[in-house]
């Protein structure tokens, strides 16, 4: 098992390709990116990792965890692997942690992609988090995990992938990071607010939203784009919160093109 800076990581793609770090959302697992890694690795040196406190990484978290801490972990991983500068691709809190990296160490970030992020907590997102916490506290981890797909995927995709999702629940339960860790991670997501500093980010940022995202209303992406000097908003008509999983082919194509600085085949 590869580990650096107390973080489990995987390497994919040619060693001399431009480095691209993948940072997942609330679940924190490198495996979240399975639908995307093969295509991304054709053009980049992909580094996928488990967030601290989750998966195969060190399980210890401080009493109070912030998304800036997640950003610091990304920098520590880069240092341990000898990566001076990289592209960053993050889903939800992984994307906002990447924004923190661009704030803390702007010279270390080339281009940055944020999937379904927010400038500050949206009331709908807060409502979803409260519901999930109530499930966790009153019914336990299994109920939390069984309900999780409802917040991530469109209804038709849920129906078509029911067997897969049932199996995923058992896998996630076997690797559950603990109730306390999940509460800390949700608290970090809820407290994130970049409105006072995100305008200072110089790196080009691609903000991706999906019209049917239940967890994070798509309007958060253009609101965030308005605050960033060099931002492009890609709006998907369908795909839910985990749109890189539900529509991987166009996602992979467009993200690869944008990261490579090519004329993208999409329009905002």
Domains and CATH numbers, the chain: 3-259 (3.40.50.1820)
For 48-70, the pLDDT digits (tens) are 999 999 999 999 999 999 999 99
Q: Residue range 203-221: average pLDDT?
A: 98
pLDDT at 268: 44
Tally of helices (H runs) and strands (E runs) in the chain: 11, 8
Band (pLDDT 50/70/90 cuts) for residue 92 is very high
Band (pLDDT 50/70/90 cuts) for residue 212 is very high
As a whole-number percent, the residues of the chain with pLDDT over 90 amount to: 96
**Cα four-point dihedral sign 169, 175, 178, 183:** negative
Structure-token match 């509460």, residue found: 183
**What is the spatial distance between Cα 108 and Cα 203, in angstroms, rounded to a whole number?**
10
Q: Residue range 113-121: average pLDDT?
A: 98
pLDDT at 264: 65
Band (pLDDT 50/70/90 cuts) for residue 117 is very high
Between 48-52, 66-70, 187-191, 260-264, the lowest mean confidence (pLDDT) is in 260-264
pLDDT at 217: 98
Q: Is the pLDDT of residue 229 over 90?
A: yes
- Report the chain's mean pLDDT, rounded to a whole number: 96
CA-derived radius of gyration, the chain: 17
Q: Residue range 9-31: average pLDDT?
A: 98
Between 12-26, 182-196, 234-248, 252-266, the lowest mean confidence (pLDDT) is in 252-266
Q: Is the pLDDT of residue 250 over 50?
A: yes
Q: Residue range 29-53: average pLDDT?
A: 98
Asked if 142 and 200 count as a contact pair (C-beta separation under 8 A), the reply is no
Treating both helix axes as pointing N-terminal to C-terminal, what angle do 179-191 and 123-139 enclose, rounded to 10 degrees? Answer: 170
- CA distances for 149 relative to 3, 157, 225, 240, angstroms: 29, 10, 27, 10
Q: Is the pLDDT of residue 160 over 60?
A: yes
């Amino acid at each position: 098992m590869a580990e650096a800076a107390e973080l489990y990581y995987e390497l994919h793609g040619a060693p001399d390709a431009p480095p691209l770090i993948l940072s997942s959302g609330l679940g924190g697992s490198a495996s979240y990116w399975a639908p995307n890694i093969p295509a991304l690795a054709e053009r980049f040196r992909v580094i996928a990792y488990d967030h601290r406190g989750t998966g195969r990484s060190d399980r210890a978290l401080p009493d109070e965890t912030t998304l800036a801490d997640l950003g610091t972990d990304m920098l520590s991983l880069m240092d341990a692997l000898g990566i001076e500068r990289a592209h960053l691709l993050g889903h939800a809190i992984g994307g906002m942690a990447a924004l923190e990296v661009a704030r803390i160490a702007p010279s270390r970030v080339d281009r940055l992609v944020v999937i379904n992020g927010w400038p500050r907590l949206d009331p709908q997102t807060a409502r979803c988090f409260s519901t999930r916490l109530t499930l966790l506290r009153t019914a336990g981890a299994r109920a939390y995990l069984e309900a999780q797909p409802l917040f991530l995927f469109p209804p038709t995709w849920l129906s078509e992938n029911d067997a897969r999702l049932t199996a995923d629940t058992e896998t996630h339960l076997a690797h559950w990071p603990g109730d306390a860790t999940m509460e800390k991670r949700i608290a970090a997501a809820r407290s994130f607010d970049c409105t006072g500093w995100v305008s200072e980010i110089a790196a080009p940022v691609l903000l991706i939203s999906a019209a049917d995202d239940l967890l994070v209303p798509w309007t958060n992406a253009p609101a965030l784009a308005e605050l960033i000097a060099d931002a492009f908003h890609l709006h998907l008509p369908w795909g839910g919160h985990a749109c890189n999983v539900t529509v991987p082919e166009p996602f992979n194509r467009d993200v690869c093109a944008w990261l490579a600085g090519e004329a993208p085949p999409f329009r905002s």
